[in-house]
Structures are given as C-alpha cells and as structure tokens.
Amino acid sequence: MKIGITTGSPENNFATLLIHELKAFFPDFQIVILSTEKKGIRNFLRRIGFNKMMRLIRNRGNCSYLDREVKFKIGMVGSLYSYTKRLDIPYYSFSSFNAPESLKSINSFDLDYIINCGGGIFRKGFISSSKYGVLNAHMGKLPEIRGMNALEWSILKGVELGVTLHYIDSGIDTGNIISFKPLKLNVNDSIKLLRERSNLINIDLIVESFRNAKDHPILSEKQNEDKGEQHYIMHHALLQIVNEKLTYEKDNFNI
Amino acid sequence: MKLNVSYNYPQGVGDIDAEIVSNFRKMISPSLGALLNSDINKQAIDRLLLKVETNKKGLFGKIELWDEKPKIENTIALVCVFNKSFVEENDYRLLNASLKLLDLLMEDYYESIPQSFWPILKEEIDFILSRDFAL
C-alpha cells in the first residue's frame, strides 16, 4: 500500500504523528509526503502571518496535546521534514497540487490513497490522482455539519460532537462517509482543548479504518443530501455564545 | 444568553412607518423584494449564504443577486431577508450571515447609509440583539 500525505507546512505535527501511527500498525506501508510549502524565512512569515508569529512567540513553551504526543511517542521536538528525513520517507514539494506539472509527478507515484493533512484546496485532477481516493478527517458530524468552525457550530446547534472520516469529492465535505467517532465532553473542555482532542481522534479514525478494511477501497456510504448543511466562519458574537455555553451550561448539553 | 454586540445609531432615528418601508422597497432590486415577500426555499438560502461568504467585500461590486449595481439598501434588504428566514427556519447560519453583513455596513459604510433607512436597519439590529440563546 502506498500512501501520499499532504501538508502545507514542514512543521505539521498532525502529519508527523499520523505517519508514526501508520508505521506502527503497517510497517509495510510506503509513505510519500506531498507538500506545498515554500521554504525560507520570508515565505514562512508570509504563510503564518504576523499575528500568528507573535502568538507562537508568546506561547513558546506551551505544548498542545499533539506536541506532547509527538514528544512522548516519537521522542522528538522537530519538524515533519526532519522526521521524514530520519525515516527516509520521500518528501516532494510543489507550488500547488493542482498545477499540471505537479499532477504529472503525483500521478507517476502510483499512490493508493492520499490523506489530507493540509496544503490547500484540491481540484478534480488531484482528487483523482490516487487509485482509491483522498481521505479527510472532518471535525464534525457529516452531513449535518459541513464546512468551517464545525466544532463551534456543533455546539451551537446541539449536534453530537465528533470526527467524520470521508472521501474528498469536488464539493466541500460532501464526499462519501467512511466512519464517525464521537467526541465526549470533559468538565474542563474549551474549544481549544476539544480541537486538540479531535486531532488525536482524527488519527485514530484513519488508522482504525485501515485496520478494519477487509478490502480496498475502504467501504463508504453516500451522504444524505437532505440533512446536509454548509457552514461558514462563525461571527465572533456567536463564538462568544458558544464559549459561554461551554463554560456555564455543559451539564445541559444534549450532545 | 444574549448577544454581546452593540451598534451605535445616529441621533434621532425615528420609528419605522409605512412610507419608509414603501420608499425602501422601491429602491431595492426586484429580486430581493420578491425574496422579502415570499417563502424562501432551502436552495435559495444556501445560494445567498454562499454569496455573502464569498463576496463579503464584493457585495458592493456586481453579483448576480441583483439586477444592477448593488447598493447599500440592497445589503440592508439582505439583512431583512436573513432575519425573516431565521424566524421561519430557526437556522443559526442565517443569523451569522446577518451579523457579518451588519459589521460590513457599520464598519465601512456607516456614513453612506441614507438617513431614511436607519429606522429599518435599527429594527433589524434590535431584532438580532433581542435573541435569547437559551438553546
């Protein structure tokens, strides 16, 4: 099995941990990194923006669940790039996944699956560039919560929290569903903590789906279009309501 | 739980009356006027939401929603459409879109809003701010 993992950044801890888990369960899997990042400090600053850079400087030393897991399981604090170098995993950089010259190379890799770990919007050519399809773990229940701020919209609308693994098609979160894993609320949960825990569930879900697959492509079901709703970036006033619900009304949640 | 958002109205904003509504309706595009008067189906709502999200600034450039050059009154009408649909559908995505449109109007076009449309806008804002979020 040959898997392509996308990334838009060489510091992608999610992709690092995913590779670690996939390699632990499937040592025979061949992994290839498909990256869209441009190297160099100027491009790094352009990519993350001034505000995020200031946040990174202020929060240096603060570890997310993902950082801790990477440190604990892999014993390293470093980039995806250095981890793949250590494991001798091929790392290919492209200006865009959708450019004709990129597609030509990607098609030549003969990938079975591609797993989305970032890197931008995928067009039709890229979506069909692997044998079985592109997998994406979405932080909300599909088809009910498609789109942006899925976690926040789930809380506002009282929809069960969790992660959905699905195939990517040309729509936004409209592809066939493989599986759903619920996310239980803890007493001290905040949006940030829930998002971090969702990331770990995303990885579990991807690995589990490969472990449970009796055949390929991994079985999936069409989404129920009647239930499908697209969501966009949540206004800060509604975000505040969500945070207050999470802080003061957790016991009343029906999710 | 109430929304913690406040908007400053110009001094002397009066009550809404039939003449204001009539003048307002004459100035918005026929397609938006029709939406305000009709039951809006799910597809129309999804299309409008997409327009708002992908054209936030471009709403004031030409989009297919209205027939000619879009105006501030068309954006106010869109807030009215979303608020009306929010009541009918209980769909919080519509309230989200209203809030974003109001931000756009208040931040970038406050000075250009015709005096006569302020009562309509005030009524729409008051409606949004009065929502109780004991969901």
What are the tens digits of pLDDT across the range A138-194?
A: 999 999 999 999 999 999 998 999 999 999 999 999 999 999 999 988 888 889 999
Q: Helical H runs in A26-119?
A: 41-58, 65-69, 80-87, 100-108
Residue among A156, A235, A246, A249 with most chain B CBs within 10 A, to mutate: A235
Q: What is chain A's Cα-based Rg?
A: 18
pLDDT for the residue B35? 81
- Is any Cβ of chain A less than 8 angstroms from the Cβ of B112? no
- Name the residue type at position A89: I
* pLDDT tens track for A171-186: 999 999 999 999 988 8
- Taking the C-alpha atoms of residue A9 and residue A25, their distance in angstroms, rounded to an integer, is 25
The answer to whether the Cα torsion of B115, B88, A158, A204 is positive or negative is negative
DSSP H or E segment with residue A31: strand A30-35
Task: Give residue A244's Cα distance to chain centre.
Answer: 27
- Hey, which residues 70-99 in chain B have their CB within 8 Å of chain A? 91-93, 95-97, 99
- B67 at A interface, C-beta within 8 A: no
Query: Is the ipTM of this structure higher than 0.90?
Result: no
- Measured in angstroms, the CA of B18 and the nearest CA of chain A are apart by 32
Q: Cβ separation of A241 and B99 shorter than 8 Å?
A: no
Quote the mean pLDDT of chain A: 88
DSSP class of A225: G
Higher pLDDT, B135 or A26: A26
- What is each CA distance from A180 to A128, A170, A187, in whole angstroms? 24, 21, 23
* Shortest distance, CA A233 to any CA of chain B (angstroms): 8
Residue A217 has pLDDT above 90, yes or no: yes
Give whichever of A51-60, A67-76, A117-126, B67-76 has the largest mean pLDDT.
Answer: A117-126
Name the β-bridge partners of A163: A181
- What share of chain A has pLDDT > 70, as a percent? 87
Question: Residue B12 and residue B4: Cα distance in Å, rounded?
Answer: 24
Quick: pLDDT tens for B104-127. 888 878 888 888 889 999 999 998
- Nearest alpha carbon to residue B52 among B7, B110, B104, B5: B104
- The interaxial angle of helices B92-108 and B72-89, nearest 10 deg, is 160
Could you read off the pLDDT of B52-79 as tens digits, one per residue? 777 655 554 444 444 454 578 888 888 9
DSSP A221: B
Strand partners, A91: A33
Placement of tokens 């003969």 in the chain: A110
pLDDT (average), residues A106-125: 94
Q: Does B13 touch chain A (CB under 8 A)?
A: no
Q: What angle do CA B23, B29, B31 make, to 5 degrees?
A: 125
Nearest to B1 among A231, A234, A244 (CB): A244
By CB neighbour count within 10 A (0-12 exposed, 13-18 middle, 19+ buried), where does B18 fall?
exposed
Burial of A11 (0-12, 13-18, 19+ CB in 10 A): middle
The answer to whether the beta carbons of residues A91 and A4 sit under 8 Å apart is no
Residues of B in contact with A227 (CB under 8 A): none
pTM equals: 0.86
Q: Which of B1, B55, B96 to mutate to test the interface with A (most CBs of A within 10 A)?
A: B96
Which pLDDT value is given to residue A60? 59
Question: Per residue in B84-95, pLDDT tens?
Answer: 888 888 889 999
Instruction: Name the pLDDT band for A251 (thresholds 50, 70, 90).
Output: low
* A26: three-class secondary structure by DSSP: coil
The pLDDT value recorded for residue B60 is 47
Instruction: Count CB atoms within 10 A of the CB of residue A38.
Output: 12
